[in-house]
A and B are shown apart, each in its own frame.
Chain A
Amino acid sequence: MITKRIIPCLDVRDGRVVKGVNFEGLRDVNSPVALAEYYSSCGADELVFYDITASAEGRRLFTDILRETAKRVFIPLTVGGGINTTDDFDRVLKCGADKVSVNSGAIRNPNLIAEAARLYGSQCVVLSADIKRVDGVFRVFARGGRDNTGLEAIDWIRRAVDNGAGEIVVNSIDTDGVKKGFDLEMLQAVCAAVSVPVIASGGAGCIEDFITLFNAVPGVDAGLAASIFHFGEVKIADLKNEMARCGIPARR
């Protein structure tokens, strides 16, 4: 049976993981390569590298570390951040990324998803959407959640899938950082609208939040989180064990 995926997300600036992490036995806690190897060895099903670099020099460092990671980590690697053109797809795919996640770039350039899907295949194009309730309506936000685009989220996601997006990351701004659980209502709405895999992001605070997620919204394929993994609040091996105990298919 296909398993539910657990995906740690690493924010990378100038080739280093920001905010650092807190693991025993890991010598360089800011090295994306070391962290990726660590996560891969403890059972992460996939990794997301999010490039939050602003400069060209930082971007070069990012592709260097991506190449170094892809040489040593043999699980699927998704790259996001600063993806605005198909040249950006090309740049990260050549360095070993398997999938590329687009967010603001797809809002600025409505043809980006279709062009990328045609060139690299839908399996490689991930739409990441930052969504927040505004007057009871799910709205898409751009620029890291700062700007309300006015786009209605479900419609936006449906159109992206029609254009060739092969996976959707739903990041709820409303639950992000709160650590009180995933946004089940929002995820339910997205899963009802599209038939491609949906990855839940934003709100995980403990193992139980993942169990609730997979039980309450069976259409969700994966759970993504950052700090709770980085700070060791949730250990992936423990999470997988608990999933299996609760009858949720997990790779161990």
Chain B
Amino acid sequence: MIGIIDYGVGNLFSLQSSFAAIGCEAVVSGDREQLRKADRLILPGVGAFEDAARQLRESGLDSFVKDAAAAGTPIMGICLGMQMLFEKSLEFGEHKGLGLLKGTVVPMAGRIDPTLKIPHIGWNSLHMTKESPLFAYTPEGTHVYFVHSFFADGCEDSLIAETEYSIPITAAVQKDNVYGCQFHPEKSGAAGLQILRAFCGEVKA
């Protein structure tokens, strides 16, 4: 069973539906007892880093996530959920993340070609930098759907895929049992479902 961590941020309807579509049972819950029954976890997230990190902390689920990661449970952060796996974010100030992965979340503004639009919204292609079970069914160049204005930097040791937006942008990361996607697999059509399918199957719990 997949546990989708509900800490009051964002809309988890599509995420739950996409697991249903690939025949994986998924529960959306903020209750740690129920989440403890899951053999894999998803940390979702949209909106501002500071708000989301605060809500995760106030719900007490930040320690649950850290404990689960330390116990070896496969966990995947999506979009802002992935950004929260890192040490810190420079989104409007400096905010502490979960520190499960090495790296800092930085703004695109000032780093990318100034004629490009921010947020980076739309379908962009994946360039794999390292082999990972997450991409067992995903060929090089696959298009996935991104919506973000910040990205993880200094995460070379966990980087598994990047995308090009005038500069290489971190698209996916993995370190042992901790996974992250900057894009939305639940909004990336059939290609996205294949990534979720790999997380449910190829990634060993």
Contacts and interface: CB of A to CB of B under 8 A. Distances in A.
Contacts of A45: 122-123
Given A98-B187, A123-B147, A93 B11 contact: yes
B189 A5 contact: no
A75 interface: yes
A196 B164 CA distance: 18
Interface stretch (B16-24, B27-35, B96-104): B16-24
Contacts of A120: 47
Interface residues of B, number: 32
- For the residues of B in contact with A, the DSSP-based class is mixed
A222 B187 CA distance: 17
Nearest to A93: B11
Nearest to B147: A123
A97 to B, nearest CB: 8
Contacts of B190: 74
A215 B70 CA distance: 51
A114 interface: no
A1 interface: yes
Contact of B117 (A71, A75, A122, A195): A195
Contacts of A94: 11, 13
Interface of B: 11, 13-14, 17-18, 20-21, 46-48, 117-125, 143, 145-147, 164-165, 186-190, 192-193
Interface of A: 1-3, 5, 40, 45, 67, 70-72, 74-76, 93-96, 98, 120-124, 166-167, 195-197, 221-222, 251
